[in-house]
């Protein structure tokens, strides 16, 4: 029985999420997760996924993609992350992730958005609900003094 329950949680994280949380989780995945993303694909991926400013057809100014799988990112909400700035919902990853940051360079309205991409590796700060990411807060560069 335990194995079956774990199987459901891996394949259907929505089983633990409420309807609003499930929507936010799916939106987070659409907007911020793209395994194999490259800085030259910003125009195509932003357009294909119809990523715009919320409730608008205005091109999003900046969008960050995490070049990793959903399971790896989901773990940040649990053991692969730590609380961030005393927030109950924000978690910072224990390890850095490869990121592609897409910045608008031309045209203001979808579907004519054009982006310039840049690549970096940073720690991510995400908001979590019920153990799943629902919002990309920011990326951070962490300096260890030890």
Flag whether pLDDT at 60 surpasses 70.
Answer: yes
Is residue 62 within 8 Å of 53, Cβ to Cβ? no
- Residue range 29-49, pLDDT digits in tens: 999 999 999 999 999 999 999
Catalytic residue among 26, 39, 49, 135: 135
Query: pTM of the prediction?
Result: 0.84
Q: What pLDDT does 1 receive?
A: 47
| More confident site: 132 or 1 | 132
Active site residue 32: yes
Give 2's pLDDT tier (boundaries 50, 70, 90): very low
Is residue 126 within 8 Å of 133, Cβ to Cβ? yes
Q: What pLDDT does 144 receive?
A: 61
Catalytic residue among 32, 60, 91, 122: 32
Q: Collapse the DSSP code of 86 into the 3-class scheme (helix H, G, I; strand E, B; otherwise coil) and give the result.
A: coil
Q: What pLDDT does 120 receive?
A: 97
- Residue range 80-138, pLDDT digits in tens: 999 999 999 999 999 999 999 999 998 999 999 999 999 999 999 999 999 999 999 99
Structural domains in the chain, CATH included, are 2-140 (3.10.130.10)
Count of H-run helices and E-run strands, the chain: 4, 6
Q: What pLDDT does 141 receive?
A: 87
92 burial via Cβ count (<10 Å: 0-12, 13-18, 19+): buried
Give 5's pLDDT tier (boundaries 50, 70, 90): very low
Give 53's pLDDT tier (boundaries 50, 70, 90): very high
Q: What pLDDT does 19 receive?
A: 66
Active site residue 112: no
């Amino acid at each position: 029985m335990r194995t079956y329950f774990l199987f459901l949680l891996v394949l259907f994280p929505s089983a633990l999420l409420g309807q609003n949380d499930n929507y936010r989780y799916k939106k987070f995945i659409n907007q911020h997760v793209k395994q194999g993303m490259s800085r030259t694909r910003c125009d195509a991926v932003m357009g294909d996924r119809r990523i715009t400013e919320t409730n608008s057809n205005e091109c999003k100014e900046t969008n960050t993609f995490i070049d990793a799988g959903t399971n790896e990112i989901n773990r940040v909400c649990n053991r692969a992350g730590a609380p961030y700035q005393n927030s109950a919902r924000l978690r910072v990853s224990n390890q850095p992730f490869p990121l592609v940051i897409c910045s608008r360079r031309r045209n203001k309205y979808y579907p004519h958005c054009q982006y310039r991409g840049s690549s970096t590796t940073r720690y991510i700060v995400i908001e979590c609900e019920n153990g799943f990411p629902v919002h990309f807060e920011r990326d951070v560069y962490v300096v260890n003094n030890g």
